[in-house]
Structure 1
């Protein structure tokens, strides 16, 4: 894969954590001394309680397959919401929301767009109702009815935000797995 641009991360966000900075640099250089190995071992924790903790996958395809299997295992009838794309644009494939969103009552979802100061990207909830043009989600005892949102994408070529007229629900279904990249 060839990129037309480079992104260089050169700012240390936590400059006071020198041992972590050193460990990251050691791993990046492929040379892991004993003190870095010991630090990594000290960071190990048991999995959180529950039958099915969140999994990390190396590829989006693996996440999609695992999540589809989990949805099929759930009781209830699945409903599919298709995005409305007014433009045929290659940037649509870079959207953070799926073109087809499969949901069931009770399935976990995650917001993938900031809607308000309380409804932010990454907030998780459960689907409690589904209609033709809306989904009601329980976010920690706060019932929110969501409709389709218009999404935009940043074009690194044009160096501006491009409105591509992509309308979808700002939800990602079943965050049982996450792509690590």
Structure 2
């Protein structure tokens, strides 16, 4: 067993559909009653050829490989944004933001940090311009120029920030 304990999340945030909340809880417990099964089946639908669904991966490595392959399939020249790290150590590899960020004009991106009430973690867009230290992203017809943001790794043992990475979010 990897973890000798179980964590149960009991606070629902940004979701108010009770049927959906119940279905997620049922699936997380591995118990799928008939009403949950029916809800899932009702939500099932074919995707049109133009839709580009999000791919969920169990491991960051799998996600990185998938994204690199998709980027290589795209036309155009890629640009690499290297992070600026402070107190570099092995903990930086555990951060959600990469040391090297490879992008192309037109590639889909997803924010990995809350920047404002409108620019939130998980928001998707497409790269429309790239400069030396910033990227312009089209978030549903809202063009936003993104520069480096600060990401920190806090040690609960040392009770302090032990690593910092500055990268485009």
Taking structure 2 as the reference length, what is the TM-score of the superposition? 0.72
Q: Supply the distance in 2 between the matched residues of 1:41 and 1:90 (Cα, whole angstroms).
A: 44
> 1:112, 1:122 within 8 Å by CA — same for their partners in 2?
yes
Q: CA deviation at 1:99?
A: 1.1
Mean CA deviation greater in 32-41 or 44-53 = 32-41
Q: CA deviation at 1:89?
A: 2.5
Is there any run of 5+ residues in structure 1 with no aligned partner, and where?
A: 163-176
Between the two proteins, the alignment pairs up a number of residues equal to 166
Secondary structure at the aligned position of 1:10 is classed as coil
Supply the RMSD in Å over aligned alpha carbons.
4.9
Is there any run of 5+ residues in structure 2 with no aligned partner, and where?
A: none
Higher normalized contact order (CA 8 Å, seq sep 6+, divided by chain length): 1
Q: 1:42 to 1:30 in 2, by over 3 A?
A: same
Taking structure 1 as the reference length, what is the TM-score of the superposition? 0.68
Question: Would you say 1:178 and 2:152 are equivalent positions?
Answer: no
Secondary structure at the aligned position of 1:38 is classed as helix
Question: Would you say 1:47 and 2:47 are equivalent positions?
Answer: yes
Secondary structure at the aligned position of 1:81 is classed as strand
Q: 1:28 to 1:139 in 2, by over 3 A?
A: closer
Match of 2:98 in 1: 98
Q: Supply the distance in 1 between the matched residues of 2:40 and 2:166 (Cα, whole angstroms).
A: 21
> 1:127, 1:137 within 8 Å by CA — same for their partners in 2?
yes
